[in-house]
């Protein structure tokens, strides 16, 4: 199960990186100067949602895989 946590972390970081670059660029274009604002909250929320989604996906895939083997002899 630990390998799934590593995979979830990698996917979550990749998604967060892409959303972060986009959010920071959009905020810069809106303001016209660099500042710290709510885009950093968006980055944090993106990581949490991506992490939970990846873990839920792997959990469901694990249930499906173990459930399909129960009926076979």
CB 27 within 8 A of CB 43: no
> CA-CA distance, 68 to 65, in Å (whole number)?
5
- What would the pLDDT profile of 29-63 be if each residue is shown by its tens digit? 999 898 888 999 999 999 999 999 999 998 888 88
Q: Which stretches does DSSP call E strand in the chain?
A: none
Average pLDDT (22-28) is 94
pTM of the model: 0.77
* Cβ–Cβ under 8 Å, residues 55 and 4: yes
pLDDT band at 68 (very low <50, low <70, confident <90, very high): low
């Amino acid at each position: 199960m630990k390998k799934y946590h590593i995979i979830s972390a990698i996917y979550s970081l990749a998604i967060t990186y892409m959303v972060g670059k986009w959010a920071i660029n959009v905020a810069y274009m809106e303001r016209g100067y660099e500042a710290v604002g709510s885009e950093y909250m968006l980055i944090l929320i993106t990581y949490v949602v991506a992490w939970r989604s990846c873990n839920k996906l792997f959990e469901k895939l694990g249930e499906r895989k173990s459930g399909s083997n129960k009926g076979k002899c």
